[in-house]
Amino acid sequence: MHHSSFKKSVLGIVGTLAMAGGLALASVAPANAAGEYKAPRDISWSWEGPFGTFDRAALQRGFQVYKEVCSACHGLKFLKYRNLGDEGGPGFSEAEVKAIAAQYQVMDGPNEDGDMFERPAQPKDTFKYPFENEQLGRLANNGAYPPDLTLMTKARDGGADYLYSLLVGYEDAPADMTMQPGMNYNPYFSGKQIAMAQPIYPDSVSYADGTEATVEQMAKDVTTFLHWAAEPKLEARKSTGFVVVLFLVILAGLLYFTQRKIWSDQH
């Protein structure tokens, strides 16, 4: 095989493998939202980039916002309480996770008598859903069923930027716009009319760490928490991807110099 042809083949194979490693680091492409809306703001997030990580303080504050505000209507059905203590997560201790879970009552059973019963939630349980069924959820929200938030930042075009923009984007409707009954104006939502009323206002929560609870701060913190909920293994995935790419680079170098050695010995 010609020297240059062999070199191109090796580099082509390595390039393909490196691309595969890069795709492992990429986020899943979210579905596009339909309808007219304003493009989300471009926000800088700590987890962005190949070496980005979650801000632990922001995750804990974001959980507080979810717990005290969002959980009244929205669930996290793919998350278990024990995940709050997982590596790469908010960093709650085992005792804190148990205490958080125990604040909720969940249905269990049947017992020895064949009856269902309530008990305090345990770390192994999934987050308690705010409504027993969809019908109750719609009755409590003017016919609109609040979506589950576990994968919200992955399910919307714009991801975390979209969710943050939506939370801070509530405004008075323009004078020339006809609003449907029970709807609220938000330029970042598809169609610019959303059934969910503005969820956060200044000082909606009192942060345990003393951070000022502005709308922007709470929106950024809860978006950070919800992005972690959607990608709890993000940091581990990036670490694995970095090792894979580093290995491929070293392998490419070894193959190249081995090929040069073989050809030099033959001439």
Q: What is the pTM of this model?
A: 0.78
Calculated CA dihedral for residues 131, 134, 138, 140, nearest 10 degrees = -10
Alpha helices, H only, 2-85: 3-25, 56-68
For position 151, what pLDDT does the model report? 96
Domains along the sequence of the chain with CATH: 3-76+149-265 (1.10.760.10)
Residue 181 has phi, psi (to 5 degrees) of: -55, 135
CA dist 121 and 119 (Å) reads 6
CA dist 89 and 115 (Å) reads 36
Residue 67 has phi, psi (to 5 degrees) of: -60, -45
pLDDT tens for each residue of 96-133:
999 999 999 999 998 898 999 999 999 999 999 999 99
Arithmetic mean of pLDDT, 52-60: 96
pLDDT tens for each residue of 6-52:
444 434 433 443 343 443 333 333 433 445 889 999 999 999 998 89
* 70 in Cβ contact with 54 (< 8 Å): no
DSSP code at position 197: P
> CA 221 → CA 20, 97, 111, 164, distances in Å?
32, 19, 41, 9
Neighbours of 221 (CB within 10 A): 26
pLDDT band for 256, please (50, 70, 90 cuts): confident
For position 90, what pLDDT does the model report? 96
* 44 in Cβ contact with 171 (< 8 Å): no
pLDDT tens for each residue of 174-231:
999 999 999 999 999 999 999 999 999 999 999 999 999 999 999 999 999 999 999 9
Sign of CA dihedral 153, 170, 207, 69: negative
CA dist 102 and 96 (Å) reads 10
CA dist 47 and 49 (Å) reads 7
Q: Which helix (H) or strand (E) holds 164?
A: helix 159-168
For position 252, what pLDDT does the model report? 77
Select from 59, 62, 67, 76 the least CA-distant residue to 127.
76
